[in-house]
Amino acid sequence: MRLGLHKILNQKIAVKIYEKVKLLEPNRRKSVKREMKIMEKLDHPNIAKLYEVFESHKQVFIIMEYVNGGSLHGYLKMKPNRQMPELEAKFIWIQVVQAIYYCH
């Protein structure tokens, strides 16, 4: 995942890049196409939005909403004993459950 700046939207974006050489395997290519198709349909505040997809001769670029704060794994690594306070964990868990519920 790379950080970029969307010139039209004038905001930070996340750019996921797939090398086409690695998409030669049918299952891998099918998985990436499925990811893009699903992301096109999602519109929820707890799920990063897909803005656009484009490709060059060698790569496929998925342009998505930038979500500040890093990964949950990285966040937990900074916490003592890799634990967070219960109230904070509940808040994050509720957001995750809401996103999963929306997807179903």
From first to last of the 104 residues of the chain, give the pLDDT tens digit.
Answer: 899 998 888 999 999 999 999 999 999 999 999 999 999 999 999 999 999 999 999 999 999 999 998 888 999 999 989 899 999 999 999 999 999 999 98
Kindly state whether residues 82 and 50 are assigned to the same domain: no
pTM: 0.81
Spatial separation of the C-alpha atoms in residues 24 and 94, rounded to whole Å = 38
Kindly state whether residues 77 and 61 are assigned to the same domain: no
The widest CA-to-CA distance across the chain, in whole angstroms, is: 48
Strand partners, 60: 18, 55
Instruction: Report the first-to-last Cα separation within the chain, whole angstroms.
Output: 26
Taking a C-beta distance cutoff of 8 angstroms, is the pair 1, 15 a contact?
yes
Taking a C-beta distance cutoff of 8 angstroms, is the pair 18, 58 a contact?
no
Tell me how many domains the chain contains: 2
The parent domain of residue 12 ranges over 1-68
Kindly state whether residues 63 and 82 are assigned to the same domain: no
Kindly state whether residues 27 and 49 are assigned to the same domain: yes
